[in-house]
Structures are given as C-alpha cells and as structure tokens.
Amino acid sequence: MADEENVNGSSEEQSEKGQQKKTAKYDSGAADLEKVTDYAEEKEISTQDVANAISAIGDRRNQAALEKQEREKELLKVVIKREDVDLIVKEMEISRMLAERTLREYHGNIVNALIALTN
C-alpha cells in the first residue's frame, strides 16, 4: 500500500507541475501583450500631424496635375504631319489618338515614334 501512496503522490506532484507550467505560459503571454499595448499607447498621433500629411498629399497631387497640364500644352504646340499619322495608324494598327500623341512626344520624328511603338 505504501507503493500506491507514492504513485498517487507523484502523480499529484506531476499534475501540479503541469498546472504551474501552463500558468507560467499564460503569464508570459499576458506580459507580451502588455508590452505591445504599452508601445501602442506611447505612439499617439496628433491631429496636426495627420492634417499636415493630408495637406502634403493634396499638394503633391495638385502639383502633378499642373505638370501634366503643362506637358499637354507643350505637346499640343508640336506640329505633326497628317501623312505621318496616317502611316502610323495604318502600319501599327493603333488608334489615331495614340499615333498623334506618340508623334507629338517625339516632336514629329516618325522614325523615333515608330521605334518607340515597336518596343
């Protein structure tokens, strides 16, 4: 019978050790979670910073739109020949609008425009 008590006693000790390991595991997880939440609390973003970021994005967008409009105005000033446009449309089988734009980008040089369209 003494053997039975030792067996029972050792199994109780093992179950207590198992419970302690589980508790320690959960405690370390809670500590990790606490570290994460503390870090997030320290990293608050002010409304002024957000407003500045949004205005900077808006300014960049407006600047890009202005540059695009200026580029389009410059391209419209380039003189191109109707025959060149017709040739590109016929040979490359693209729209007239794309042919005109490509010719304008290459300042009316049909050879460079064709090279760009084939690449």
pTM here? 0.50
Q: How confident is the model at residue 47 (pLDDT cuts 50, 70, 90)?
A: confident
> Would 38 be classed as within a structural domain?
no
> Would 99 be classed as within a structural domain?
yes
Give the closest residue to 85 by CA, choosing from 110, 105, 107. 110
Q: How many domains does the chain have?
A: 1
- Whether residue 72 is predicted with pLDDT greater than 70 in this model: the reply is yes
Q: How confident is the model at residue 17 (pLDDT cuts 50, 70, 90)?
A: low
- Whether residue 50 is predicted with pLDDT greater than 80 in this model: the reply is yes
Helices (H), 47-108: 47-77, 82-92, 96-105
> Would 91 be classed as within a structural domain?
yes
Contacts of 100 by beta carbon, 8 Å cutoff, 6+ apart: 80, 85
> Would 94 be classed as within a structural domain?
yes
